[in-house]
Structure formats: C-alpha cells, structure tokens
Amino acid sequence: MRHMSVNWHNETPLSRTLRDRIAHYRIVAAVANLGFLDSCSSHLMITNKKTSCSSRKPCDLMSGRGFLPERSGRAACFSMPQTGHRHRRSLYLRSGRPHGKQLEVGIPVSAAFDYATAKAWSPTRRVAVAWITRLEECFFLSIGSIRTAFQKHGIYQFINLYHRLKSRQGDQLKWGDEIEYTIVKFDHENKKVRVSCRAEELLSRLQAQEEVNALIGTVNHFLWRPEFAAYMVEGTPGVPYGGLLACFNVVEANMVVRRKEVQKLLKKGESVLSISFPALGSRDFTVPPMKPTPRQEGPGRSIFWPEDAVFCGHPRFKNLVKNIRGRRGEKVAINVPIFRDKNTPNPYIEDLSAYGEGDMISAAKPDHIYMDHMGFGMGCCCLQVTFQAVNVDEARWLYDQLTPITPILLALSAATPIFRSKLADVDSRWDIISASVDDRTAEERGLVPLKNSKWTIAKSRYDTTDCYIYPCSVAYNDIPLQYDEAIYKQLRDGDIDEPLAKHIAHMFIRDPLQVFRERIQQDDEKSTEHFETIQSSNWMNMRFKPPPPDAPEIGWRVEFRPTEVQLTDFENAAYCCFVVLLTRVIISFRLTYLLPISMVSENMKRAQKRDAVLNQKFLFRKSLATCVSAPKDNKVSANCGGKPSEDIEEMTINEIINGWLFGHTYWYSREMSGSLGKDDGFPGLVPLIRQYLDSADVDVDTRCTVSQYLNFISKRATGEIWTLAHWIRHFVDKHPAYKHDSEVPDETIYDLLVQMDAISSGKQHCQKLLGCHRSKTDHLIPSAVRRAEESFVMSKQKRGS
C-alpha cells in the first residue's frame, strides 16, 4: 500500500460567525477522479484523522462518522451540514489503484476554502483544489437599486490597485492562448450531426485531473474551463509560455495534446472540433434532444434556442441571458444578411409563423437570417491571446498599437459563413456576438426619445474599442466618447491620467450584468471584484488587464480578442505565434501603427464581409515611423502630442501582410523610418517579423516551425491558401444536396463536418486550406536550447544597461 499526504501551511480558519452561516455546501473532491482509476471498480475511502470510514456508510464530517458521497461522473461529492463546530480536521481520500496500490491525499477541511467565490484556497493559487458553491443563496438583485454604489466601489478598487502596482517593473514576456472547442455527435446512419451537450460532465473529469496534479505536485500542461454553451469547453496552457523564442515550438504540440485530452473522454461518434457549429438554432441540433420554450418563463425565451443548451454548471451564464434580455426590455434581435445565391428567393423572407407570434416577427428583417438568443453569438468559438508586458506603460502602448491590427486578423482568420444552417453574406461571427449581448434599451439605441436613460450609446457592449489609452495616442481619438462624468471625476481625483480615466469611465456607462447578494460587501483595498464585473462584460477587440490583486506572479497584460478559431492546431498556433511575434517587432523597432480610431471601426466592418481577404481594402498606415514616445526606460517621452499622421492609404490584406515596394522585397531599418516617401511602399508585417528573427539567436527547429507559420500566413493573405470561410462556401456550393437557395441541408452539414473532423484529426490533408506546411513542433524545449537562449537574452540585457 502506498500513502501520500499533502501538508498545508498558513491556513486561515473561517470565523465562527461565518461557520454559523453555512447552510449547505457541496465540496467536489476531485481526488476521486484520478485518471488511472477504473470508474466501475475503483473504491473510494474517506477518513479523518481519527476515524476511518467506508464510502458506503453515512457520515457526519465534523463528528468523524462515516458518510455516503454522491457520485458525479467520477468525482466524489459530499455535503457538509450546518454546524458551528470549530475543531480543525483534515479530510483524507484514499482511492484504490490497480494491482492493490492506493493513493491517500489529505485535504484540510478547517478553513481552507473561500466559500463565497466558489474557489478553494490554495497556498500557490495556481489552481483550485476543490469547488464549494452555495447556489441556493446566489440571488440576483435588482441592479438599479445598487448600480451607483456598485460602480463607485468598482472605481475605488481600480484606483487602489493602479496606485499599488503602477510602479511594478521588469516583468518578462509571458503569454498564452485560449481556444474554445465544440463537442459534436455524428449520427452516421441518418447523416445528421448535432452538438453534444456534455460539457459539464467532461469538465468535471478534466478539471478533476487538474486538482489531482496540483495535490501531488505534477505540472498541469493544460487547464479547462466552462464556456457559455453546454457543448463548449475552453482549453488553455497549464502554465504560460515564456519569452524564449524556443517557446514558439511547443505551442502547437500543446494544442495537439490538449485536443486529445478531450477526445479520449468522448463516446463513440463524438468528436471535439475547434469550430463554430453551423447549425445552431436549427431544428433538432442538440444531443440529448432539447426544445425551445418561448412561451414559458426562462432566461432567453428564444424560438430557436433551448434553455438547457446554455451551460448549467454555473449560474453566471443563464443569469447573463436573463439580465441582458431584462435590461434591454425585449429579446435580443440578430439579423445577418443572407447570401444571395442563384435560387435564393427575392426578397428572402423566412416564414416564422410556426414558431409563434409577436415581437419575433417584427424583429426579423427581409433578406436577413434572424436569431434571437445570446447563444447564437456566445455559442460560437474563438481564439484569444493574452500576453504580459514589462510594465503598465508598455501594456497601454501595446493595447493601442495592436488595436489597428485587429481587423486585419479578423479578416485573415474568417471562419464563420453559416448561421442557423443558412449561408450568410458575412464570413465572421463578430457582429453576431455584438448583437447577441446588446443590452441597450430602446432609448439608449436612439429609437425613442430619452426618458429613463441617461444617454444614447452608439455601440453594444461587445464591439470595437472607442479610444486609445496611451498618453501619446490621444490625437487619434477622433470620435465622441460617451463616459460618466461623475466616474471620470472620481478617477481624476484619484490621480488617474486623462486617457486611462476616460477609458475606464467609458466602460462604466454599462450596468453590471449580475450581482450576487453575498458579494456586494468588498474590501476596496484588497478586492477588484466590482471593477472586474464591469470590465469583464465589456467585450472589445482589445482588453487592458490589470494584475489580479491575489496573484503576485501576474503583471499588466493585454488581450488580443478578434481572431476566429481555426480548424487545425497548426493554424491556431500560427495565428498565436504571429500575434506574439508582432508584439516583439513593435517593441524592438518601436513602430507605430496608429490610425484614427474611427478607421479601426470601419475596418472591422470591412473585415467581416464575404471574402474580405480577396475583395476588401483596409485603411492602414502606409509609412512606418519610429515612435519617439514608445515606452522606454519606464518613462513616457516628452514628445507626446502633435497631429495624427495623414499618411494613411487603403491597402489589401496581401499588401499589409506581405508588403510592397515597387515589386521588390522590402527591408526595414530604423534609420529608414523617417525617410520614406509616400510612393515608396509598405514593408509588410511578415517581412518585419522575419527581420526581427534574423537579428535573434533562434534554434533550427524553432526557426523552421516559425517559418512555416509565417509562410502559411503569407499565402493565406495572397489567397493561395483559402480561409476556412471560403473553403466552407466552396464545399457547400459543390455538394449535391445543396440547391443553391442559401439553405444548407442537414446532409450537407453532416458531410462538411465529417471532412472537417478528418482534417482536424490529421487523417486527411487539405492543401487548399493548409498548403503543404508542416512544423517541427515539440512539447519540450531542449535544455541546451533553453540555456543558450537565456544566456543570449541576459547578454543583450547587460549590453542594453
């Protein structure tokens, strides 16, 4: 028999008052879900320090008598009844292993849990050790009655955090990706594919392994979190990638293993795909079967979307649906232009009479695909990249410099041309998500005169950013910015500079979408929960992220949010590495890509159009200039201000990515930055990255992998390699069941996803979608390479100092 106990130190007991308030908790003991256990034969033993008890006997945890754990998947659950007992004990879970071996883990019960935030206490705070939820006391309040106080405290929290950490310096580049996956179920007999709503079950098993790894000291190579829909899971690297160039060679390998981690838990006929499911809202699109309930009390009351297709494992998601609809005063209305094929009716007017009557009919526009639920947007999958900056100034500067890049990546990654099994005249999900969470009232949308609302608001809370936040970028803020004057004054009185104060005050024109009674009272010196409640529900193309107050290892970060998720791990790795390398180019060459902020919004509209890579031109800064006010030596240059550049031109995606100079390869140098004439050309983002790599010490395998990624991006920009949206359109157009009427039959979608599954899993190669590129990705960085790169970086830092 083998025993292992985990010792916990620096425990902070709950006060007697809090203990007496405990009504009913569920503690999910993830240790029971060990990956090497047989779910049918494993035997779970739960003990405390004094009394051993079989899992088949009832138990009072605090008195030491045995109890019967409920089973949820392969995780053991038990209840802790109301009690005022103050004894400190440890809970021991002993699980049977093959060949008679056992593993025992001790978990302190005394006070090691933060009961209100549904997270377990952990001395490292890297992962939760268990979950405790008090769902029966999670009451959503009438937000209107506490909005002003809530926002005021949220601002105090930000001010306190900002001044506590504004001088934080020297953080290294760390970064990571977030990929959302869809679980699908193939019905091969009837040629039908549906989403499989098993995310809660899968997450309980995936997250349980995380807890076990944390307890026994094993590194988690990936982490899993819930997403909006019951068929979605989100995967991230277990630890962030570092600043070494060799880290680019492990990204794809991590994604490959990450996907396999989900796939091995799936049932026969199921698959995990990094796509937005094209038949959301069509009839019979879920497994198990679910029906919409538009005439019953429920969060969304959609005529297409079943309420149980929203993730049920946490109240946040259904609360968001309910409160967005409640605040808006009606259901959300999403109208996407229909793609007009040769047999599409003119005008295209969908008959919705079978679904019901009333506002749903009036909200649907002719020649559009109508949708009426948050799930049509948030139920789509995406790819996001977050990276840490050296300090707050660099984070703000990168936020601004990357904002004009967001439409380019949106067009380049276009992957969503079908909604509700109908071909749309757009290739991206961006405006669909924007409309799906648009909680503005009719007054705020300018449809009726202002009476109860304070102002009209130009955009949904999911849209492009309206202002730059670095001091030297303010000249490019050329659109009126709506912000709360009282909050702006509070920020300025708190010594927050004008650009950042306006950005925060602009976010705070939005109401919080959910507030729980037990979370209202916060220590504004230590918590940022009220601030994050509003910050996290402003979904923009870029996000400026302050360090969490309880995670000292995390610095100031920026999140790049517009990219559409790709079908394969190679593609997703290519886009992630491209964005991160672009940040290195911007910082190393101190380049500025700033455009008037209104042009960024215009570019985002163009980026969503059908085949935007091939057919659209984008406003972009033609001649690159060295930014004299780039963050350097932790100071902002005195050369801020001045007029914005007028050297802006319409360019194709190919010209922006690959550059042009009278047909010749462009070579950029800092000395040339101010000497280019208007007709000299544009260097291109990929050539700039290649030049950056030429100046760095990169091992052969990493350089090969990155070169393959850059070649892929370059060829997709030229149109030689198709976007996923273009490939899907071509597949549908050539499918024998498609009648060229914009309606995509079940059989076509089935065959489409069968082929997508084959490509995603590597069983089939599609040259039109991927080209002939193959990386040399590996899940480990050779120790010799790591030492060499670290030595090279340190020598450069010494020379720089």
Cα angle 734, 738, 739; round to 5:
115
Distance (Å, whole) CA 647 – CA 660? 16
Q: With a threshold of 0.85, does the pTM exceed it?
A: no
pLDDT tens track for 85-128: 333 333 333 333 333 333 333 333 332 222 222 233 232 323 22
Is residue 82, in this structure, part of any structural domain at all? yes
Is residue 35, in this structure, part of any structural domain at all? yes
Give, for 183, the enclosing helix (H) or strand (E).
strand 175-187
- Cβ contacts of 737 within 8 Å, gap of 6 or more: 745, 747, 748, 751
Is residue 122, in this structure, part of any structural domain at all? yes
Distance (Å, whole) CA 348 – CA 368? 7
Is residue 31, in this structure, part of any structural domain at all? yes
Nearest to 670 by CA among 647, 654, 688, 685: 688
Can you list the alpha helix ranges (DSSP code H) found in 309-374?
Answer: 315-328, 359-363
Number of separate domains in the chain? 1
Residue 647 has pLDDT above 60, yes or no: yes
Distance (Å, whole) CA 176 – CA 274? 17
- Binned at pLDDT 50, 70 and 90, residue 795 comes out as low
Is residue 450, in this structure, part of any structural domain at all? no
Query: Mean pLDDT over all residues of the chain?
Result: 80
Distance (Å, whole) CA 237 – CA 255? 8
pLDDT tens track for 372-420: 999 999 999 999 999 999 999 999 999 999 999 999 999 999 999 999 9
Nearest to 179 by CA among 295, 71, 274, 284: 274
Contact 337, 424 (CB under 8 A): yes
- Binned at pLDDT 50, 70 and 90, residue 677 comes out as very low
Percentage of the chain modeled with pLDDT above 90? 61
Residue 221 has pLDDT above 70, yes or no: yes
Q: What is the pLDDT of residue 628?
A: 60
110-140 burial, b for 16+ CB within 10 Å, e for fewer?
A: bbbbbbbbbbbbbeeeebbbbbbbbeeebee
Question: What mean pLDDT comes out for the span 280-285?
Answer: 96
Sign of CA dihedral 364, 369, 371, 374: negative
Weakest-pLDDT range from 234-248, 569-583, 719-733: 234-248
Range of the domain at 48: 16-137
Per residue, what are the HEC states of 752-773?
HHHHHHHHHCCCCCCHHHHCCC
- Binned at pLDDT 50, 70 and 90, residue 758 comes out as very high
- Highest mean pLDDT of the ranges 462-466, 625-629, 678-682, 774-778: 462-466
Is residue 81, in this structure, part of any structural domain at all? yes
Is residue 564, in this structure, part of any structural domain at all? no
Residue 641 has pLDDT above 80, yes or no: no
Distance (Å, whole) CA 66 – CA 467? 60
- Cβ contacts of 171 within 8 Å, gap of 6 or more: 388, 389, 390, 391, 555, 556
- Binned at pLDDT 50, 70 and 90, residue 489 comes out as very high
Is residue 62, in this structure, part of any structural domain at all? yes
User: Tokens for 272?
Assistant: 């995990």
Q: Of 735 and 5, which is predicted with more confidence?
A: 735
Report the SS3 class of residue 515.
coil
Nearest to 578 by CA among 773, 413, 749, 695: 413
Q: What is the pLDDT of residue 268?
A: 96
Dihedral class, residue 614 (left if φ above 0, else alpha if ψ from -120 to 50, else beta): alpha
User: Tokens for 790?
Assistant: 């670290």
pLDDT tens track for 31-53: 333 333 223 322 333 333 333 33
User: Tokens for 470?
Assistant: 């670095």
